[in-house]
Amino acid sequence: MQNIDILVQKIIKDNLSKEEFIRELKTKKPLVDIDVDDFENLRLLGFPVQEIDNQIIIETANTKLEEQTFCVVDIEANGSDPQVNQIIEIGAVMVRNGEEIDKFESFVETDVLPDSITMLTGITLDDLKGAPPLNFVLEKFRLFLKDAVFVAHNVNFDYNFISASLQKAGFGPLLNRKLCTIDLSRKCFQAEKYGLSFLMEHFDISFGAQHRALVDAKMADFVLRHCLQNLPVKVSTTEDLIQLSKPIKKKKKKTKDKNSYN
């Protein structure tokens, strides 16, 4: 949700009042069905916001890294489109100050599982028989996640898939701050490639078979911890970290009009 990222930076830079903040929220498409006047509801959706003396505060702008709770997440799904496919497994580890404080793992019931997904993940329909239904797992995961920073390797896939699934189930979108361990690792250390499998070889470590949700989440957590040990001195808050991870936008080269060569 790039528009939420933009709003967060605007709040931090311009010190928005409560009225200005609510007015901005009402222009955001994912929030058209959300009561944005209810700050408690926004926090339940993961938005780390509070109001002090009519000024809006984004908590992650002031939270020191050692005090921040990160939820490192991975999902497996029976396809890549959240509008027609569904999650079949969620795995996550909750970490704070370099320590795992909780974990989440669940299969999700489905009758649809392409052979290609079984070959990739090792998950079979038998594994998913008797698993909890999707809405039940999504609700449990939402309660587990709370307002932690959502972390994943290639975060947009997992974040957007879960957010779309939550919205379809009537639970509202994800509004948690998010962090990509691929983008962050590129800023923190040199490697030939930054895929999870290559990085595990790079660090000579294994957590088990890949393409299972909790295993991949633990791998991404390892990458996150390594990055946190190799940060520039200027990075001290959660928002500093999120901004550091942002890819540098390449400027588009201007194309000269052919007549300019004449």
Interval 150-174 mean pLDDT: 96
Is 257 in contact with 30 (CB distance < 8 Å)? Answer: no
| Cα 72 from Cα 95, distance rounded (Å) | 8
Quote the pLDDT of residue 261. Answer: 38
With tokens 């250390």, the residue in question is 189
Is 178 in contact with 48 (CB distance < 8 Å)? Answer: no
DSSP-assigned states of every residue in 82-140: TTT--EEEEEEEEEETTEEEEEEEEE---S---HHHHHHH---HHHHTTPPPHHHHHHH
| DSSP structural state of residue 28 | -
DSSP-assigned states of every residue in 234-257: T--BHHHHHHHHSPPPPPPPPPPP
pLDDT in tens, 104-143: 999 999 999 999 999 999 999 999 999 999 999 999 999 9
Tell me how far CA of residue 109 lies from CA of 34, 129, 164, in angstroms. Answer: 28, 6, 18
Quote the pLDDT of residue 156. Answer: 96
Token pair listed for 90: 């969620």
pLDDT tier at 258 (50, 70, 90 boundaries)? Answer: very low
Quote the pLDDT of residue 31. Answer: 81
Chain centroid to CA 235 = 20
